[in-house]
Chain A
Amino acid sequence: MEEKIMAILNDICGADEGELEPDFDLFEEGILDSFGVISLFVEIEKQLGVKFEPTEVTRDEIKSPALIIEQVLRRA
């Protein structure tokens, strides 16, 4: 599961495998924006069947790869 999440994230961010550090702040570094987040939710739902209610997650809760994985696992 974690690998799949990272693969989705790498694809959206244009990163090579293993390049995104777990605590990397994706918003601060300009890697992810609002539309990127939507793509992320859409892909996670499509590929992993995990649905997000976007109004229930703040940016701070999904700002790094580690946090995104945590949020997905919690809903899986």
Chain B
Amino acid sequence: MTVLEKLREYANTDRVALINRDETLKYSELDRFSDIFALYLTERYPGDKTPVVIYGHKETLILPCIYGSLKAGRAYVPVDITVPEERVQQIIDDVSPKVFVDFYELNIETDAEVITQQKLKDFFAGNTELNVNVEDNCVKEDDLAYILFTSGSTGKPKGVPITCANIENLSRELMPWMETSEDGGVILNQISYSFDVSVVSLYMGVSRGMTLYTIDKDIQENMGELFNHLESSDCAIWVSTPSFAEICVPSARFNQSLLPKLEKFLFCGEILTHNLVDELFSRFPNTKVINTYGPTEATVLVTAVEVTKEMADDPLQIPIGYPLPEVTFRIVDVDGKSVPSGEQGELLIISDNVGPGYFKRPDLTEKAFFVDSETGKRGYHTGDICFERDGLYYYCGRMDNQIKIHGHRVEIEDIENNLAKCDNIVRAAVLPVYENEKITHLTAFVLLQKPDGLTSLKRAMKIKEELRETLPSYMIPRKILALDSFPLNTNGKVDKKELQKSL
């Protein structure tokens, strides 16, 4: 696997792979530690290929676990601390791992061997001579490299596995976009590992011998600290969702003098708005803005485009880009027929970047994935409504109730189903609230079984507390309002258009 070969190459240099607050991890250390982890897996569980689940946030020692798993031929399943214990349990039950690396020592029921942060430190402290045969043991071709769990409409997370071949394809196609004027340099490491945009830093950044500069959750919560870290990162490539840049925009400090070496903004994961592009163009005159698009199912991203002045001035939305060289797009109508250029339809992706389907869910896989009869390549129904003009693609919205909130992919039904499980709630409807093309927050309406005598805020706090046990924090609605009755449409379903009016 390219990234593992490159890792070994850079291990012979003095380069730093990761900066995490006051900790640094050199390429030589990352290579050695991941060898140790790989050796542990292969010796302790010979012949086994069960994925390794890693629960944590941005801890330095997560990286050796990721590359160590790959070196040992295992996929890894990164689960961020925003995921509450109950969901972690569901993921563990789904994956049935042999090894569970748990940085936060949760109370999880599992037959897996649990490896704590302390145990990892003990592993890596050893100084014995290693002889790890990476080439023979590492993940190859159709072996799974990682499984990411995303929001599922049933109220339980669903796994999206991606193969080594998928990543190798993406690497080849994305590398030209990662060029910078200097060899090495710094790339931001801000995106949670359980969100696939982090793959850009983990694979392409490391393959270029770059230094990953970590911005963790706590840093982001304190704007003063965040800006001090951004400044000291001196990064050349900024990878994030547009939302993260939008958090920075309200500060006057967010400009080229904060990040003089910044050559590229690479955005992925949600709509890039005109507002943000205008701000970045005026504040960062020397930095290119690159927009990309892609579903997790087709390996991170399948388009890219450098946003030009013309695109910024065009009243049309900012394009999601051109398909990468080996990616074919087809836009189809409800009957599956291709629509003429300029017309909207569902976007289908046909490419070797399309993953194998949902983890242990052949029913869902069959609905969304297909094999293209013309090319024999795998295809995926994105559920995204797009149109094409002059070879450029534009995103218009979803065919279902999936939304992006601050870059997180969320099925509205996932929230509604978990709300309905809360005490004293009969029914729930969740609505996104928009401002300037983007969702700023969610509002939930609930129907109570019986009056609870609580004030609005007290009730909302009680419900939120319950929700925190089942949902990641970004899925919890900002406002929760109780109604005496729900407006229904002619089909007897909750009339969301009517509810929308009361927002």
Contact = CB atoms under 8 A, between A and B. Distances in A.
A19 interface: yes
Given A35-B441, A38-B250, A39-B441, A14 B480 contact: yes
Contact of A53 (B251, B479, B481): B251
Given A14-B479, A15-B456, A33-B473, A42 B250 contact: yes
Given A14-B481, A35-B440, A36-B478, A53 B252 contact: yes
Interface in A30-46: 30-31, 33-36, 38-39, 41-42
Contact of A59 (B221, B253, B464, B476): B221
**Residue with the greatest number of chain A CB neighbours at <10 A, chosen from B223, B227, B440, B455:** B223
9 contacts: A13-B457, A14-B457, A14-B480, A30-B468, A31-B461, A34-B220, A38-B246, A52-B250, A54-B223
Contacts, number: 70
Contact of B251 (A13, A14, A20, A54): A54
Interface in B212-232: 220-224, 226-227
Nearest to B249: A38
Contacts of B392: none
Interface residues of B, number: 32
Interface residues of A, number: 26
Of listed A33, A55, A56, residue having the most chain B CB within 10 A: A55
A55 B253 contact: yes
Given A16-B456, A39-B440, A55 B406 contact: no
B224 A56 contact: yes
Interface of B: 220-224, 226-227, 246-247, 250-253, 406, 440-441, 443, 455-458, 460-461, 464-465, 468, 473, 476, 478-481
Interface of A: 12-16, 19-20, 29-31, 33-36, 38-39, 41-42, 52-59
B448 to A, nearest CB: 16
